[in-house]
């Protein structure tokens, strides 16, 4: 269950940002998670609810935007359709993933003076 280590790292990062900006309370975290990131969203939410207590994130909400996987040709940038063979129909080059494997902390809503 790497969701617990993800949450631990997330809370550490939020604490660093709060310290840097004089934040005293976090209201909401916005995450962007790719469908192929390997993260079980429900486990992540449970881990967050468990570990946020007595941290800067105590009482904070977790907002998650899921990102569908997308691929394109590594040479000509032509989109490769979902479910298709991961190779360009035009030039035959292998496709590269554009998005869908990310875990990104997009935004922190916190109480901070002068920010």
Tokens of 58: 């105590």
Residue ranges and CATH numbers for the domains of the chain are 3-111 (3.30.2320.80)
Query: What per-residue confidence (pLDDT) applies to 1?
Result: 57
Tens of pLDDT, residue by residue over 34-48, are 999 999 999 999 999
User: For the segment 49-90, what is each residue's pLDDT rounded down to a tens digit?
Assistant: 999 999 999 999 999 999 999 999 988 889 999 888 999 888
Element (H, E) at 105: strand 103-111
pLDDT tens figures, 7-23: 999 999 999 999 999 99
Share of the chain above pLDDT 70, in %: 97
Backbone angles phi, psi at 96, to 5 degrees: -120, 150
115: confidence class by pLDDT, cuts 50, 70, 90? low
When the pLDDT of each residue in the chain is averaged and rounded to a whole number, the result is 93
> 114 or 36, which is more confident?
36
Q: Can you point out the beta strands (E) in the chain? A: 25-34, 61-67, 70-73, 79-80, 95-99, 103-111
């Amino acid at each position: 269950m790497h969701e617990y280590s993800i949450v631990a790292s997330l809370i550490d990062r939020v604490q660093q940002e709060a310290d840097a900006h004089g934040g005293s309370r976090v209201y909401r975290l916005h995450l962007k998670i790719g469908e192929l990131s390997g993260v079980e969203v429900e486990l992540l939410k449970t881990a967050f609810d468990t570990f946020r207590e007595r941290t800067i994130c105590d009482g904070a909400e977790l907002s998650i935007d899921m990102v569908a996987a997308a691929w394109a040709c590594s040479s000509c940038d032509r989109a490769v359709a979902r479910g298709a063979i991961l190779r360009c129909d035009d030039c035959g080059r292998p496709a590269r993933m554009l998005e869908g494997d990310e875990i990104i902390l997009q935004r922190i809503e916190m109480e901070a003076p002068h920010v």
